[in-house]
Amino acid sequence: DGGITQSPKYLFRKEGQNVTLSCEQNLNHDAMYWYRQDPGQGLRLIYYSQIVNDFQKGDIAEGYSVSREKKESFPLTVTSAQKNPTAFYLCASSISSEPYQETQYFGPGTRLLVL
Amino acid sequence: AQSVAQPEDQVNVAEGNPLTVKCTYSVSGNPYLFWYVQYPNRGLQFLLKYITGDNLVKGSYGFEAEFNKSQTSFHLKKPSALVSDSALYFCAVRDWLTGRRALTFGSGTRLQVQP
């Protein structure tokens, strides 16, 4: 899983609660990504950031928010507006020196469950 | 738009036999293709990628993949399967023409190697 850490490993959310998933990387990568994984659906892009203080919505951004205040950190907040948050969440990062050719490296993931 | 198809949900192979996991893609420009492996409750590990050049790409753990432009395929292969190869495999594509830096993933293929 390289130099990418995600915490916690398991997270439980109560109805109406916002929860934040942590993602930190020490690879000096410029770009960071959040994906959601559901059984049988592969990975879907939630948000991505190419540079500090800038981020873009992915394919399923509704009910999620992010920030990128530091190069090494890209936290994801699952808001109460996300009605079906139960999934495995994966953070990834990549270096920007070779746009489109670069490899993305993934963290170990956070499993979010609803109480 | 870019897309990836993995037509088999599961592939079963006996240990010592060759294995193939299929992937086809659709892009507007030149494809950059990737294979990742995922073990239970873990993040994705990078196996190999095709950017340009030789159509046969060699990667980690004895895996290789063959890029076929006319068939728009990028099948993952290994000459002799190991029980420890049992995992979930994802094919992914990136197309510079779309301006989308994030990867588009297939739905995954579960490889089961029987002893």
> Is A106 in contact with B36 (Cβ distance < 8 A)?
yes
**What residues of chain B lie within 8 A of the CB of A101, using their CB?**
32, 49, 51
Residue A56: the pLDDT is 93
Tell me the pLDDT tens digit for each residue of A6-59: 999 999 988 889 999 999 999 999 999 999 999 878 899 999 999 999 999 999
Going by C-alpha positions, the residue among B39, B35, B44 that lies closest to residue B94 is B35
Is B43 in contact with A4 (Cβ distance < 8 A)? yes
Residues for chain B: how many in total?
115
Which of A31, A99, A109 is nearest residue B43 as measured by Cβ atoms? A109
One-letter amino acid of B109:
T
Residue A2 pLDDT: 53
Tell me the pLDDT tens digit for each residue of B18-66: 999 999 999 888 889 999 999 988 899 999 999 888 999 999 999 999 9
Question: Which of B95, B101, B107 shows the shortest C-beta gap to A50?
Answer: B101
- Picking from B6, B35, B44 by the largest number of A CB atoms within 10 A of its own CB, the best residue to mutate is B44
- Closest CA–CA distance from residue B39 to any residue of chain A (Å): 10
Confidence at A98, pLDDT banded by 50, 70, 90 = low
Measured between alpha carbons, how far is A90 from A101 in angstroms, rounded to an integer? Answer: 20
| Contact call for B51 and A101, based on CB within 8 A | yes
Which has the closest alpha carbon to B92: A79, A17, A104, A74?
Answer: A104
B9 contacts on A by Cβ (under 8 Å): 40
